[in-house]
């Protein structure tokens, strides 16, 4: 599982999932027609909240800052406001009672924070995966019980390998 973000834009929900491999960022962008496309992305910071992105190889200069209730994104030709949500909308989440979390990238598990059978809350860190000198905390996508741990500290994992499983517990 890669990093997944939902954005509310023009009243519609967009899903952006991104992952890094070999120092490249890939964005999986879900189009309005439901199709998904994989786009390479490179970002160079220019300071003061200004970035130069190469999105699908096209240079794109943009400015971004937190705005009341969301984020303001500006290019020279548009200024728009969007809300970023990390989790899926509730109605989708509730149907998901069993979650298998996979490695979003190849790397090494450097820390496991939880044990099998422990209760976990949504967004709680389960383990830390290091890749390209960057540590990423892998979190529980749903609240529940940590049913199964597939990996242990020090273990090398490849992209897509299952890391752990969580089973939802009814708390409501």
Site residues (vs another protein, CB under 8 A): 3, 5, 7, 9-10, 14, 16, 18, 20, 23, 25, 27, 29, 39, 41, 43, 45-46, 48-51, 53, 55-56, 58, 60-66, 70-71, 73-80, 82, 84-86, 125, 128, 132-137, 139
Select 134 or 153, whichever has its Cβ closest to another protein: 134
Q: DSSP letter at 2?
A: -
> In whole angstroms, how far apart are CA 8 and each of 41, 65, 91, 166?
21, 16, 16, 27
Select 128 or 145, whichever has its Cβ closest to another protein: 128
Burial of 154 (0-12, 13-18, 19+ CB in 10 A): exposed
Rg (CA), the chain: 18
8 Å CB contact between 121 and 143: yes
> In whole angstroms, how far apart are CA 27 and each of 11, 30, 134?
21, 9, 18
Q: How far is the CB of 138 from another protein (least distance, A)?
A: 9
Select 84 or 167, whichever has its Cβ closest to another protein: 84
Select 116 or 137, whichever has its Cβ closest to another protein: 137
Please tell me the distance from the alpha carbon of residue 105 to that of residue 141, in angstroms, as a whole number. 17
Assigned token pair, 64: 């971004």
Q: How far is the CB of 96 from another protein (least distance, A)?
A: 19
Q: How far is the CB of 29 from another protein (least distance, A)?
A: 6
Assigned token pair, 119: 């209760």
Q: How far is the CB of 169 from another protein (least distance, A)?
A: 23
Select 41 or 100, whichever has its Cβ closest to another protein: 41
Q: How far is the CB of 2 from another protein (least distance, A)?
A: 10
């Amino acid at each position: 599982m890669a990093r997944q973000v939902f954005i509310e834009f023009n009243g519609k929900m967009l899903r952006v999932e991104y992952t890094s491999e070999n120092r490249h960022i890939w964005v999986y962008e879900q189009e309005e027609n439901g199709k998904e496309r994989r786009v390479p992305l490179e970002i160079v910071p220019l300071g003061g909240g200004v970035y130069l992105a190469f999105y699908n190889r096209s240079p794109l200069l943009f400015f971004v800052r937190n705005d009341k209730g969301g984020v303001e994104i500006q290019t020279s030709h548009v200024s728009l406001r969007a809300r970023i949500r990390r989790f899926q909308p509730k109605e989708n989440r509730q149907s998901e009672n069993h979650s298998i979390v996979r490695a979003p990238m190849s790397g090494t598990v450097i820390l496991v924070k939880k044990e099998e059978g422990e209760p976990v809350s949504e967004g709680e860190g389960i383990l830390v995966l290091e890749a390209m000198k960057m540590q990423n905390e892998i979190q529980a996508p749903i609240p529940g019980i940590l049913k199964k741990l597939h990996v242990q500290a020090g273990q090398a994992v490849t992209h897509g390998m299952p890391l752990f499983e969580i089973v939802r517990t009814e708390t409501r």
